[in-house]
């Protein structure tokens, strides 16, 4: 029990607004620059050096945006729901802040995945949109994000809003395995998994490397933006505290 207690003490300490503000300020430039380097390297590798596909020719290159965006749409939701649950159970305010900061970013990734998928679908399948299980469940994910944001802005009391949003996020988690396994459980027009399966990835290494560079770049971009957003929210929520006033005074 002592170890548990000291772990919790460390978490509470880290999650205190003042420490979070200080540490996140140091992390943001690192994450931001790494994200920029990875995204530039991944784009150049993906657009100029990766070979054409034997079936789809050059059109497949939209994969380097579509797939990382789709992965992030699910990853951000898991972060949002976990943070919501932590905020609800342990009443750590920072967790609620992370959940609410993640929602618009996740919604943007989901919209990007849907739009790039549509642009890819028209030439390859012959349709902008079909109501198969993969596309429909991803569209539901977008509505879950939008619902989270709408619910948050509809409830005035921030604590009640965080609680309601956390419950919505937790209920919506069930959609994540459905999105992932939709292509296995049901017949879909969407292809099966290329990379995220137990088998060896069915993509050539020269195409896999830029894809993974982009995926990592997307992840670090999310880390950067979520920290910036959370930092602003923390500062706003703590505006009456002395440490915030000192920061304001220092920056003139």
Enumerate binding residues for other proteins (CB under 8 A): 51-56, 60, 63, 85, 88-90, 123-127, 130-133, 167, 170-171, 173-174, 178, 185-189, 191-194, 202-204, 206-207
Q: Which is nearest to 231 in space by CA: 13, 23, 68? A: 23
Q: Name the DSSP class of 51.
A: P
Cα torsion angle, 156, 161, 162, 163, sign = positive
Choice between 36 and 124, CB closer to other proteins: 124
Q: Nearer Cβ to other proteins, position 118 or 188?
A: 188
Provide, rounded to whole angstroms, the least separation between the CB of residue 28 and other proteins.
Answer: 30
Nearer to other proteins by C-beta: 5 or 26? 5
Of 95 and 105, which CB lies nearer to other proteins in the complex structure? 95
- Can you tell me the distance from the alpha carbon of 118 to that of 102, in angstroms, rounded to the nearest whole number? 24
Please state the closest distance from residue 40 (CB atom) to other proteins, in A: 22
Least distance (Å) between residue 222 CB and other proteins: 24
Report the alpha-carbon distance of residue 188 to residue 77 in Å, rounded. 23
Does residue 138 contact residue 179 with C-beta atoms inside 8 Å?
yes
Shorter beta-carbon distance to other proteins: residue 65 or 108: 65
Of 49 and 236, which CB lies nearer to other proteins in the complex structure? 49
| CB of residue 228 to other proteins, shortest distance in Å | 28
Q: How far is the CB of 73 from other proteins (least distance, A)?
A: 19
Q: How far apart are CA 100 and CA 152, in angstroms?
A: 8
For helices 133-154 and 93-124, what crossing angle results, to 10°? 150
- Tokens encoding 1: 């029990």
Q: Minimum Å distance from CB 198 to other proteins?
A: 14
Dig out the tokens for 2 from the structure: 């002592």
Q: Based on CB atoms, which residue is closest to other proteins, 113 or 227?
A: 113
Tokens of 127: 């349709």
Cβ 103 to other proteins, closest distance in Å? 18
Give the three-class secondary structure for 88: helix
DSSP string covering 135-180, please? HHHHHHHHHHHHHHHHHHHH-SSHHHHHHHHHHHHHHHTTHHHHHH
């Amino acid at each position: 029990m002592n170890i548990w207690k000291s772990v919790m003490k460390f978490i509470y300490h880290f999650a205190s607004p003042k420490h979070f503000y200080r540490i996140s300020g140091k992390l943001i430039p690192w994450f931001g620059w790494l994200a920029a380097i990875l995204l530039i390297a991944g784009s150049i590798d993906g657009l100029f050096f990766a070979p054409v596909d034997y079936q789809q020719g050059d059109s497949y290159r939209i994969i380097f945006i579509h797939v990382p965006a789709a992965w992030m749409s699910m990853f951000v939701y898991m972060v949002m729901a976990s943070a919501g649950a932590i905020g609800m159970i342990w009443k750590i305010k920072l967790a609620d802040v992370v959940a609410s900061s993640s929602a618009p970013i996740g919604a943007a990734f989901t919209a990007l995945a849907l739009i790039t998928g549509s642009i890819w679908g028209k030439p390859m399948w012959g349709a902008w949109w079909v109501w198969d299980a993969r596309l429909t469940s991803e569209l539901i994910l977008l509505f879950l994000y939008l619902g989270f944001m709408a619910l948050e802005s509809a409830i005035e009391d921030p604590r009640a809003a965080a609680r309601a949003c956390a419950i919505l996020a937790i209920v919506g988690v069930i959609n994540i395995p459905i999105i992932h396994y939709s292509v296995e459980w049901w017949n879909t027009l969407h292809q099966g998994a290329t990379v995220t399966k137990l088998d060896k990835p069915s993509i050539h290494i020269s195409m896999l490397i830029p894809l993974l560079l982009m995926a990592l770049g997307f992840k670090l971009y999310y880390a950067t933006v979520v920290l910036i957003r959370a930092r602003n929210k923390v500062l706003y929520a703590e505006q009456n505290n002395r440490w915030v006033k000192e920061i304001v005074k220092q920056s003139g």
